Amino acid sequence: MQLQTMLRFRAGWAEAEGPEHAVVLSTRVRLARNLRLPFPSHLGPAGLKRSLDAVFSAAKTAGLKDAAFFKLADLDDADRAFLVERHLASPALAAKPAHRGLVVGERENLTAMVNEEDHLRLAALQSGLRLREAHAAVDRLDDGLSAALDFAFRDDLGFLTACPTNLGTGLRASCLMHLPALTMTGAVARLIEGLTRAGLIARGLYGEGTRVVGDFFQISNATGFGRTEAEILAALERSAAAIVAREKEARAALSTGAARVKLEDEIHRSLGLLCSARLVGFEEAQQHLSRLRLGLALGWKLPADLALVNELTLSTQPAHLDLLAQKELTPLDRDALRAALVRRRLKAS
C-alpha cells in the first residue's frame, strides 16, 4: 500500500542536506494553474471528473510518470489525514474528497493537487534554502504539463487563478524555518511584524494564534502578481537569508558564555524526556524535538541527526501513528506509541 511505503521512507526534502538546512528545514515553490474551465468551486461532478482525468493523464506522460496517483475519494479519512500531515495535501483538498486528486512524485519532492481551489497546484519541495532549484523543478513540471494541457492565461493578467492573490505568476514560494533561538529570546514576534510590512507572510507551522509549537515558521510571499517570478524568489531569498543570519547570531549568543550551561541543560532535558517518557503528547514531542534539533544544529554530540529529527517531527503526528498502528488509536495509546517510537528511533541512532 502506497501510504505504508511513504511511512517507511523518509521524504527527500527531510534529508537535511540543502544549504542552511540547520535553520531552513525545507523550501517549497508552488504554481497555481487552471484549465480553460470554470474554477473547481463552480464545477459540478462531471466537470470536476473531466478536469481530474485530464490532469492525471497529462501527468502520467509529463514528469510524473513514476509518481503515486491518489483519488482522494478512494482513501479513508485516516489516509487523507496522513497526506495532510505529510504536507502533501492541503486540508481543503482532504475536506472535499469527491473528484479531488493528488499526485506525489518520487521521494515526495514533487506534488500536484487536482481540483483544490485551482485545477492544479504544482509544488516542488527541497531540503534547505533552495528557492531557485525548487522553482526550476516545478517549472520543468509545469512545462511538461503545458504541452498536454491548455492552461488559462491572459496576456494582461498572466495565469488565471481562483483567488486574485495568486493571479499572474501563480507562484507561492515558502521556506519552513526553525527559529528556536529567536523564539527563546523573544525576538521572533518583532521579526514577523517586520516581514508582514515587507509583503511577506509568516506563520507558525503548528499551534494556533500566537502559540507556536516546535518553533517552526513558514515564510512566504503574500501575492503572485505585479512582479516576475525571479523578483518574488529574490525578495523571499533575501528575507530568508537575513532571518537565517539572525537566528544563527541568537544561537551563538545562547550557546556561549554563561548562557551555555542553561541551554545545555534545556537540550539535555529534552533528550532525556524523549528517551525516557512512556506517554508523550504531540505538542510536547514537537517542543522537545525542537530543542534536540537546536543542539544538533549547534554541532553538539547528541544521539541523533537532523534527518532523524525531521523524520520524527513528521512521524509523531496523530495520523502517522494511526497508519503505523494500522488502526485508529485512542489518545492514550497514541501517546504511548509516540513515546515508544521516539525512544526506539533515538536508541537505534
Our finding on whether 344 is near a second copy (CB under 8 A) is no
> What is the nearest approach in angstroms of a second copy to the Cβ of residue 250?
20
Q: Which stretch binds a second copy (CB under 8 A): 136-144, 151-159, 275-283, 308-316?
A: 275-283
Our finding on whether 340 is near a second copy (CB under 8 A) is no
Our finding on whether 262 is near a second copy (CB under 8 A) is yes
Task: Quote the cell numbers at residue 5.
Answer: 511505503
Cβ nearer to a second copy, comparing 228 with 349: 349
> What is the nearest approach in angstroms of a second copy to the Cβ of residue 252?
19
Cβ nearer to a second copy, comparing 104 with 292: 292
> What is the nearest approach in angstroms of a second copy to the Cβ of residue 142?
49
Cβ nearer to a second copy, comparing 234 with 336: 336
Our finding on whether 152 is near a second copy (CB under 8 A) is no
Give the one residue of 77, 106, 143, 265 binding a second copy; rule: CB under 8 A.
265
Our finding on whether 339 is near a second copy (CB under 8 A) is yes
Considering only CA atoms, which of 75, 60, 65, 96 is closest in space to residue 2? 75
What contacts 79, CB < 8 A, 6 or more positions away?
3, 323
Interior/surface letters 264-299, b for 16+ CB within 10 angstroms, e for the rest: eebbeebbebbbebeebebebbbbbbbbbbbbbbbe
Order the strands of the 213-221 sheet from edge to edge. 68-71, 101-104, 110-114, 120-127, 24-33, 171-178, 213-221, 200-206
Q: Which stretch binds a second copy (CB under 8 A): 96-104, 125-133, 138-146, 276-284?
A: 276-284
Cβ nearer to a second copy, comparing 110 with 267: 267
CA atoms within 13 A on the CB side of 206: 19
Task: Quote the cell numbers at residue 322.
Answer: 494511526
Our finding on whether 336 is near a second copy (CB under 8 A) is yes
120 neighbors 55 (Cβ within 8 angstroms) = yes
Q: Which stretch binds a second copy (CB under 8 A): 89-97, 143-151, 198-206, 258-266?
A: 258-266
Our finding on whether 269 is near a second copy (CB under 8 A) is yes
Distance (Å, rounded) from C-alpha 220 to C-alpha 174?
Answer: 4
Task: Quote the cell numbers at residue 156.
Answer: 494582461
> Cα torsion at 204, 206, 209, 210 (round to 10°)?
-60
Give the one residue of 2, 272, 326, 349 binding a second copy; rule: CB under 8 A.
272
Our finding on whether 329 is near a second copy (CB under 8 A) is no
Distance (Å, rounded) from C-alpha 114 to C-alpha 178?
Answer: 30
Q: Which residues in this chain contact a second copy in the complex, by CB under 8 A?
A: 261-262, 264-265, 268-269, 271-273, 275-279, 332, 336, 339
